[in-house]
């Protein structure tokens, strides 16, 4: 919770200290209808190193390919969200820095956009291929964390309902990254307390148990599931280590909730793992009421950009097959553009959205303090 509050405080400080950064905002607003050729011409006329911040390691690969294609000089920085906000704050005060940013955690992003730190841009070329709900702010891709279980032995946890995970038999057999250390994990839990998801959990409980849920003092079914789920969890240090642990020959009976794309790692024994939603689709059932959660990665122009046209061109590039290739080369990453198909062997974004908890940044922002305090109590 401290990390989230620090981002909010930083955003307030940025607003108070922000100099006149209207130039980039005005340029972006005036460029809404520029086609690719017009955008490229203006980008080629800009000078200096094109600087990008992103909380995804593959941003540097995409930037290298982009610069090679157009002859630009670029600098990619793979940073955590909190580091990005800190650097942007310093740049607001001191000038220079990032031209374009790729970032997640939509709740903190609400402040950054409202305070004028980041500027939303929708390339004219992709407006028809990206749904309206993913345009403001622009979602470049979705990433999912899903239930994946070890398929060895006689105790395979092939769940069909998430309430199964609250059974005492699962204690110590669920691995999840500590939500106090992973913002998107905390956001996922917060969303479960919403009216929509608590209602779905209520229905799922009755479907499994054959009786109405008794809340026993919890505010709603979301809070009850969170408390009982976390009570059965052990906490991994990273999604990579969780994937490695779950895939061990000795990990029969264990299940994890982690990033699907971690299955691409050579250190993960993928033959020992089953993705719950893959199995659900094969067997014509679904995991009720969700098989994981899906969250967006946003692409925006920095309001202090010295190369705003290059930033807009790069965003346009990231929405193409070539620009998405660093992520699209493996499962677990999904372009928001309908023109870009999912990785072969993976499910489509429509299936994942329908079977996953999705983020509502404003709900997370409004309810963060209450739910985070509740969650932290069960982590101690």
What 3-state DSSP class applies to 327? helix
Q: Is the pLDDT assigned to residue 240 strictly greater than 50?
A: yes
234 and 373 fall within a common domain: yes
Residue 6 has what pLDDT? 53
128 and 151 fall within a common domain: no
> Of 9-13, 86-90, 154-158, where does mean pLDDT reach its minimum?
9-13
353 in a structural domain:
no
Distance, in Å, from the CA atom of 120 to the CA atom of 209, rounded to the nearest integer, reads 46
275 and 302 fall within a common domain: no
Label the pairing between strands 139-150 and 333-335.
Answer: antiparallel
Distance, in Å, from the CA atom of 42 to the CA atom of 309, rounded to the nearest integer, reads 6
The enclosing domain of 341 has a CATH number of 3.40.190.10
Continuous H helices in the chain: 2-17, 22-30, 36-44, 59-70, 81-94, 106-114, 183-191, 195-209, 221-232, 239-246, 276-282, 308-318, 321-328, 349-355, 361-377
304 and 159 fall within a common domain: no
32 and 118 fall within a common domain: yes
119 and 40 fall within a common domain: yes
108 and 170 fall within a common domain: no
309 in a structural domain:
yes
Range of the domain at 47: 2-141+295-348
Which H helix or E strand runs over 53? strand 50-54
149 and 119 fall within a common domain: no
Split at pLDDT 50, 70, 90, the class of 93 is low
Residue 285 has what pLDDT? 65
Label the pairing between strands 174-177 and 233-236.
Answer: parallel
Q: Is the pLDDT assigned to residue 94 strictly greater than 90?
A: no
Q: Which residues contact 241 (CB under 8 A, 6 or more apart)?
A: none
Q: Are 256 and 174 in contact (CB under 8 A)?
A: yes
Q: Are 294 and 357 in contact (CB under 8 A)?
A: yes
149 and 249 fall within a common domain: yes
Residue 81 has what pLDDT? 85
What 3-state DSSP class applies to 273? strand
Q: pTM for the full model?
A: 0.89
250 in a structural domain:
yes
Q: pLDDT tens digit string along 1-43?
A: 555 555 444 444 444 434 434 588 999 999 999 999 999 999 9
158 in a structural domain:
yes
206 and 266 fall within a common domain: yes
Q: Which residues contact 258 (CB under 8 A, 6 or more apart)?
A: 145, 146, 148, 175, 176, 177, 236, 239, 242, 243, 246
Whether a cis peptide bond, with omega within 30° of 0, leads into 137 is yes
75 in a structural domain:
yes
220 and 321 fall within a common domain: no
31 and 118 fall within a common domain: yes
Split at pLDDT 50, 70, 90, the class of 96 is confident
What 3-state DSSP class applies to 189? helix
What 3-state DSSP class applies to 72? coil
244 in a structural domain:
yes
225 in a structural domain:
yes
364 in a structural domain:
no
Residue 138 has what pLDDT? 96
Q: What's the domain count of the chain? A: 2
């Amino acid at each position: 919770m401290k990390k989230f509050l620090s981002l909010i405080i930083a955003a307030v400080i940025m607003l108070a200290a922000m100099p006149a950064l209207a130039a980039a905002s005005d340029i972006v607003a005036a460029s809404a209808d520029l086609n690719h050729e017009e955008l490229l011409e203006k980008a080629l006329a800009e000078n200096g190193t094109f600087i990008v911040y992103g909380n995804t390691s593959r941003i540097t690969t995409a930037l290298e390919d982009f610069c090679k294609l157009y002859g630009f000089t670029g600098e990619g920085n793979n940073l955590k969200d909190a580091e990005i906000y800190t650097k942007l704050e310093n740049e607001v005060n001191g000038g220079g820095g990032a031209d374009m940013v790729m970032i997640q955690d939509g709740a903190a992003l609400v402040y950054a956009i409202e305070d004028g730190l980041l500027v939303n841009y929708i390339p004219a070329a992709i407006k028809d291929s990206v749904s309206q709900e993913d345009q403001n702010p622009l979602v470049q891709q979705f990433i999912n964390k899903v239930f994946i279980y070890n398929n060895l032995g006689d105790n395979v946890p092939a769940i069909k309902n998430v309430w199964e995970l609250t059974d005492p038999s699962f204690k110590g057999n669920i691995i999840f990254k500590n939500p106090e250390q992973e913002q998107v994990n905390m956001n996922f839990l917060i969303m479960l307390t919403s009216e929509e998801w608590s209602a779905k959990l209520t229905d799922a409980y009755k479907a499994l148990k054959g009786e109405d849920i008794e809340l026993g003092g919890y505010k709603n079914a979301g809070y009850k599931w969170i408390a009982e789920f976390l009570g059965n969890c052990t906490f991994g240090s990273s999604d990579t280590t969780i994937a490695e642990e779950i895939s061990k020959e000795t990990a029969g009976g264990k299940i994890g909730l982690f990033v699907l794309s971690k299955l691409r790692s050579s250190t993960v024994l993928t033959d020992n793992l089953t993705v719950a939603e893959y199995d659900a689709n094969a067997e014509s059932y679904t995991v009720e009421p969700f098989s994981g959660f899906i969250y967006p990665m946003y692409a925006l122009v920095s309001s202090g950009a010295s190369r705003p046209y290059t930033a807009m061109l790069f965003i346009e590039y990231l929405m193409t097959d070539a620009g998405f290739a660093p992520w699209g080369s493996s499962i677990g990453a999904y372009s928001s553009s309908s023109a870009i198909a999912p990785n072969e062997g993976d499910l489509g974004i429509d299936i994942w959205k329908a079977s996953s908890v999705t983020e509502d940044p404003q709900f997370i922002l409004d309810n963060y303090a209450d739910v985070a305090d509740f969650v932290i109590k069960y982590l101690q």
